[in-house]
Structure 1
Amino acid sequence: MEPTIVAIGGGSLSESRAEQQIEEYILRLTGADDPRICFIGTASGDTPANIVRFYSVFSSDRCRPSHLTLIDRKVTDLREFLFSQDAIYVGGGNTGALLAIWRQHGLDAVLREAWERGIVLCGSSAGANCWHEASTTDSFGPKLEPLLDGLGFIQGSFCPHFDVEAQRRPLYRGLVAEGALPDGTACDNCVAVRYEGTRVAEFIASKPEARAWRMERTPDGYRETEIVPRYLDG
């Protein structure tokens, strides 16, 4: 299977089965009859409530869920554990903290190997930011700022929560216009971009009104191009 990443703008892991189209999409991408999917909640400090929520969404009647904690690490061999998965789902939270802890544990290298092996990598908010070269984040305080040291599996920048956080759109426009962030993609909540290798394969949405956006630097500032995702009608 070609390396695959699904980066979600936010609003995922809904407790309503009727609003879990993107989660179903991820499971289908694995091609497995009984897919194994692991949750990594580093960005929220491995908060138990988020782990419980993951298990309620990716329940045992549809897949084989598991989770990996690093704050209180129980798994000795990360490669053995993660290479046995069909998909890896990264939860939201603090992108900067996530990257620092992953690098401390060597998880960044393990995830690159997992990606190259064809294990589906996915996640929402910080769990979408992390795969990109750069992103917008509130990791360093209440003010949104650029983050420039993402994993870089995908070149360019990413901006989540484009429709629900008032700072996101003007900040992203300005950062791209001034060259502080490379050209990239913004996603509303309930929108995801799927990459095959490093190429955009498609945009999908679990709400018909949700959109994605391509942001590019121009001599006059920036160009913002609306993208209508494929609606996953549940």
Structure 2
Amino acid sequence: MEIEFTKMHGAGNDYIYVNTLRYPIDNPEELSVEWSRYHTGIGSDGLVLICPSDQADFKMRIFNADGSEARMCGNASRCIGKYLYEEGLTNKTDIQLETLSGIKILHLHLNDKNTVESVTVDMGIPTDIHEVALGEGYIASKGIAVSMGNPHLVLFVDEINKIKLEEVGPALEHHPLFPDRVNVEFVQVLTDSKVRMRVWERGSGITQACGTGACATAVASAFTDRCGRKSSIVMDGGTLEIEWAGDNHIYMTGPATKVFDGKIEI
């Protein structure tokens, strides 16, 4: 069976997108592992399925490069908004997207060519914000835990470029405080409205960007009075604008980019 797919990225966070309305997939866990390999597969941070929904306009399922299913991905949700509009699956510029962490609202920003230039996502209300003590043997003794529908651990550091993610990331992802594992953000504050962030993603390892991680970083920065309620989160793959608004919701704005279309046999 031949499957058509689209490779897209949001600030360098790249996924393989499949429209399951046309191409139903029974084994996404296995395919995500196989297709995500850069040397023998398509190469990506994981697999995203665009599905029908009985609760919203569409539904997103997302699988990490190790085959585990994630609850939410901000970068992938922006790319889905671009895909849905530009492929003619909807003419809405405000789209309800069902995820495992609830229904998210995507607001599409169009350019004069009627293509999607950027997307603002209502990421909902952050929860379970608190300081955690990590104990001995880690790069930091404490961090800020934040849930954006998926778990995050934000660590503030002085010199982010000296952090060896491949060495410190795995142990923190599997820290005993987080039995379901955790996404880890390393953050250096640049100004009171701008921070530099690098990420070790649960199930994928080092990635160029993480949308929920950028939101968690903004929340942790404001929670600790390092930044205000609006901040620019600069990641390896690009910058996202995050606002922790007066309604307590997090609004994330950033780019969505199509790389190429392809076909693969299963």
Q: Could you tell me the TM-score, scaled by structure 1's length?
A: 0.31
Mark the structure with the bigger radius of gyration.
2
Greater per-residue helix proportion: 1
Greater per-residue strand proportion: 2
